[in-house]
Amino acid sequence: MLVLLPPSEGKAPSGRGTALKLESLSLPGLTEARRAVLDELAELCAGDEEKAREVLGLSEGLRGEIAKNTQLRTSGARPAGEIYTGVLYDALDLASLDTAAKRRASRSLLVFSGLWGAVRVTDRIPSYRCSMGVKLPGLGALGAHWRTPMAAALPEAAGDGLVLDLRSSAYTGAWKPRGEVAGRTATVRVLHAPTRKVVSHFNKATKGRIVRSLLAAGAAPADPAELVETLRDLGYEVEVQAPARAGTAWALDVLVNEVH
């Protein structure tokens, strides 16, 4: 099972240990594309601060985030699972999983990123600020920048198992499962059961809980149909929209009664 996650805007500080080693990150086919973004982002942020703030879409109060991008090659790196914070990652709470569940997380979780493309939670990265919606002056829109290298790297990472796609819309454009891979992909919406409306904050928290439940249970559903049964066994109320045709993803709605 491969689980695709969005990153978080909020991030923990960089570590104090060894600096970033691009070549050590998972999905080595993305290395050159990562280097291109890293180089341009660092150059942008070391130059005109006001231009960098505009390009990165930062408010005045977040101006300090620009400085961290000038130190990406020298700041101490730490596991991505420690860097990403926020609602989904608080609910997932990787640090409190037992050893076996942590091993499963290291194999199955893949976090998408405007800077790195995608990384595993054990990959060591510095804290940074660069969303997938950014358009760098030289490279252009990052979503488009990542499509070609992702098209080669992600099907290999997916292998022949289930792909559980929990990414937000900003990150789905960087890679869309196609063909046979799409047929064993499941996307998830979290709906407030009485209203059938998506609630953004609760959506993220529930997705974090779903991933945690799967990891803690040692669940290994082989395909979307097995995923539905597994989630129901774990206590989730799930409605299914099976694909109308071959080569398209399954759509799962997880219904919740309380918004908290």
Residue 166 and residue 187: Cα distance in Å, rounded? Answer: 6
Residue 148 has which token pair? 């070609």
pLDDT bucket at 194, cuts 50 / 70 / 90: confident
Instruction: Give, to the nearest 10 degrees, the angle between helix 200-217 and helix 224-233.
Output: 90
Convert the pLDDT of each residue in 88-110 to its tens digit. Answer: 999 999 999 999 999 999 999 99
State residue 62 phi and psi, 5-degree precision: -105, 15
Convert the pLDDT of each residue in 26-77 to its tens digit. Answer: 999 999 999 999 999 999 999 999 999 999 999 988 888 999 999 999 999 9
* Sign of torsion over alpha carbons 230, 215, 170, 37: negative
> Whole-model pTM?
0.95
Residue 208 has which token pair? 């974090």
Contact 171, 112 (CB under 8 A): yes
Picking from 35, 45, 34, the residue whose alpha carbon sits closest to that of residue 68 is 45
Q: Is the pLDDT of residue 242 over 90?
A: no
Three-state SS for 176? coil
Mean pLDDT of the chain: 94
The torsion defined by the Cα of 55, 23, 103 and 180, in degrees rounded to 10, comes to 70
- Percent of the chain residues past pLDDT 90, beyond the cut: 87
Contact 125, 19 (CB under 8 A): no
Residue 230 and residue 247: Cα distance in Å, rounded? Answer: 23
Q: Is the pLDDT of residue 259 over 70?
A: no
Q: Is the pLDDT of residue 201 over 80?
A: no
Q: Is the pLDDT of residue 200 over 80?
A: no
